[in-house]
Amino acid sequence: MPMDDNKTFSSSPKAGTSRREGGLLELLRTIVIAGVLAISVRTVLFEPFNIPSASMIPTLQVGDYVWVAKYSYGYSRFSLPGSPNLFEGRIFNSLPHRGDVAVFRFTKDTSIDYIKRIVGLPGDVIQMRMGRLYLNGQEVPREPEGEYVAIDEHRTHMEGDRYREILPGSGGHGPVAHDILKLTDEGGKNDTPEYVVPPGYFFAMGDNRDDSADSRFMGDEPQDLGFVPMENLVGQAKWIFMSVDGAHPFWQFWYWPAEIRWNRLFMGVR
């Protein structure tokens, strides 16, 4: 009987090792599958972006985090992680609509993401006159909504006027009503030449019209955006899933609940 017991116990370490190896392989398999799914979702469906500057106030605040739909305009190499130069142009291409809030790659450095509103499509004529936006010779209507104080990424307070602007629709879509902020009607960005959007490009502007480096700047300076190639589009901003004020250093965790802008969570981007 003791010999039988010894034989029985002699096989246990091998069985335990086999179970451990099987558990490690299953864990590795789960991690690989989760990684592939995450990369697939990020590449094909949605990608998160944060808002680092004040150029889209009042629509988007500094510290907002948005989901961007990658499928909205089809896919270019900029839709892929690392932007590998595998192909030119766009696959499943779909033109953006006037009024879309879109993420795209900066024209001077395609490693940088920008987010602006698309106000001009190929063939459109864009001009600013005395602080007013003109599209194809017609003034874009806007309605005053009162005074507004914005806070930029440097915690600087900017006092201006808020308006509800109504861009004409495109591609069978109706007009797009959205808010803008005006700080002044003076300066070169408020009195511009006419810009005719060439084929394959779009014209983008920030909703914070006087604190936005956008397509109105056509020069050779490093910050000038100019017309944006359709290929540079990454996707359309859809929802705000988090918004953090950022008034205190990150390590001061006791401020975290107060730092979250709870009223902005899950807002649609319009």
Q: What is the mean pLDDT of the chain?
A: 88
Q: Which residue has the tokens 């500094």?
A: 62
Residue 1, pLDDT score: 42
**Among residues 55, 170, 215, 243, which one is catalytic?**
55
Lowest mean pLDDT among 37-46, 133-142, 148-157, 215-224: 37-46
Q: What is the mean pLDDT of residues 263-270?
A: 94
202 burial via Cβ count (<10 Å: 0-12, 13-18, 19+) = buried
What confidence tens digit (pLDDT) does each residue in 93-137 have? 889 999 999 999 999 999 999 999 999 999 999 999 999 999 999
Question: 92 with 233: CB under 8 angstroms?
Answer: no
Asked if the model's pLDDT at residue 35 lies above 70, the reply is: no
C-alpha–C-alpha distance, residues 118 and 202, integer Å? 7
Q: What are phi and psi of 23, to 5 degrees?
A: -65, -40
Quickly state the pLDDT bin for 158 (edges 50, 70, 90): very high
Residue 4, pLDDT score: 45
116 in catalytic set: yes
Q: DSSP 3-state assignment of 196? A: strand
What confidence tens digit (pLDDT) does each residue in 163-215 have? 999 999 998 899 999 999 999 999 999 999 999 999 999 999 999 999 999 99
Residue 66: partners with Cβ closer than 8 Å, 6 or more residues away? 48, 49, 50, 51, 60, 115, 237, 238, 239, 240, 241, 269
Asked if the model's pLDDT at residue 150 lies above 50, the reply is: yes
Residue 3, pLDDT score: 42
Quickly state the pLDDT bin for 21 (edges 50, 70, 90): low
What architecture is domain 46-268?
Ribbon (2.10)
Residue 6, pLDDT score: 45
Residue 218: partners with Cβ closer than 8 Å, 6 or more residues away? 195, 224, 226, 227
Residue 9, pLDDT score: 40
**Among residues 70, 116, 182, 189, which one is catalytic?**
116
- Global pTM value: 0.83
Asked if the model's pLDDT at residue 11 lies above 70, the reply is: no
Asked if the model's pLDDT at residue 5 lies above 60, the reply is: no
What confidence tens digit (pLDDT) does each residue in 41-62 have? 666 678 999 999 999 999 999 9
